[in-house]
Structure 1
Amino acid sequence: MVNIRDLDPHASPLDYYGAELRRLREAAGLSQKELGAIIFCTGSLVGQIETARKVPTRDFSERADAALGTEGVLSRLVGLVLRSQLPTWFQPFADMEAKATFISTYQAQLVYGLLQTEAYARAVLATGLPSNLDELVAARLERQRILARSHPPMVWVVLDEAALYRPIGGSEAMRKQLAHLLSYRDHRWLRVQVLPFSVGEHASLIGSFTTMRFEGDPDILYAEDLISGHMTASPETLKEAALRYAHLQAAALSVEDSAALITRAMEERYGPGGRAVA
């Protein structure tokens, strides 16, 4: 059955995407079933996306663009659609993160979102029992595209050693996650330092925080509580955060020693091929 439902393109990014997909498909003289056959999906899926009942993926968008000859229209729109799936309180941070030229973050419990693998991200996001888990995972992975830009932001991560030993998603997922962290060792614009347990008390026992710098705009500090996140451009708060971050960097292992510790945790804690080691 053909999915037909009138959409208000102004209602949401998802509605706008659906309306554009239908317009482009009809202009190409294709039915939902015919387009689905070309891009290796069902006509029903095409219809669900056109009626804003299903969130498109980047892969779907790129295939549809190629089939419809749209010069990347849907691929450009899908980023906005996926970002709209993030919690309302988190969307402003994602917007600023995408514009930042320098990101420095201390993560006390988890791997930073920009560096998470799909399996790790899924396990983390599932703890909130969301009804749209697939969309949230896709949105988190979409955020990571800023690292692949021709001019990516400089990203400096101080990661607490605890994040290496908390088995998020199980042993196999953790091994792949730690291997993913190691893949950034030679990345020009990204550095990872580990804050070891041996440091004891340190400058941010209160928790994680992220500072972002911009071209021509004030710096912003972001931190989360139990329910949501908060951003501030307060000079005094930013000054305090900068001082604390400097102490964290000084106390953390060097980038090289951090990579060695991550490797050791991956091999000794999670074993080859994801086999858990007691």
Structure 2
Amino acid sequence: MATSGNNSRITDIEPWYIPMDILRIVGPGGPQDNYEVQKSGQPRRVNSDLKRIQYQDSLCVFRAYINYSMTVIQNHSYNLQAIYRYVIVVYPTRIFWQSHRFQLFLIIITWIFGLIAFIPFLFTDYIRYNVENQICQAPIRFSFAIIYVALVIYIIPNMILNIIYLKLVRYVRQMNKRITSANVLSRAERELKMVRNIVTISTILVILGLPYAIFILMSFFTTIPQYHFRIAFIFIDISTTASMIALFKTTDTIKAAAVQTVTELVTIIAQMNT
């Protein structure tokens, strides 16, 4: 390994670096992907890998902070949708809870929480530049920072979502046992289906995020692979594609809109050829 100017270092790279870097750029969501905002630094990483340069740019730590914050907001947005569906079914007479004003209030609270939750990381050494992976993240090891990340980003949001889903399932089952009007029961089952779709998408993200979780657990007891972040984020990028497919398959309105769009395009092309 050699050293060059501007605190950068020249090092050997693995042959799979460049293909994976390019794949992450052209993958779904692009640089604006909420689940992995680190993609905004991906072109820089490709350039660094091509030139075999390891260099921490001035926005590296800030991108990591935004990455954590946006992931928290995204995961809790699933909870907001589930809570809204739950209120519609369980508390149909609480109109204020279903109002746009109250929902906007919850959204604002979610954003404030997401942006505040990781502010301390900006002013401590919790976020560090990982040379081998050319990324700024909380180091995966037994520490307060990584446990905090796991709890706030993954464990707590998913626990809340699954609790809401299970409570809604139980409530709808009780409705089936009682004398309930067909319209009310149909609406409850429709809202339950929507929450189930949300849980499905969240579960896909969790499953494909398992490599990240496994590396965290491994770090408590042994040394983890050198390129753990590169490996973990490949699976996270795949989860974005999988969740988009699941969203398309499970949401009738999206499927209907897609079919309508394709039909209109086919009609326009047919008219142009006649």
Greater RCO (CA < 8 Å, at least 6 residues apart):
2
**Is the pair's TM-score, using the shorter chain for normalization, greater than 0.5?**
no
How would you bin the TM-score normalised by the shorter chain? under 0.3
Which has the larger strand fraction? 1
- Could you tell me the TM-score, scaled by structure 1's length? 0.24
TM-score after normalising by structure 2: 0.25
Structure in which a larger fraction of residues adopt helix: 2
**Radius of gyration: which is bigger?**
2
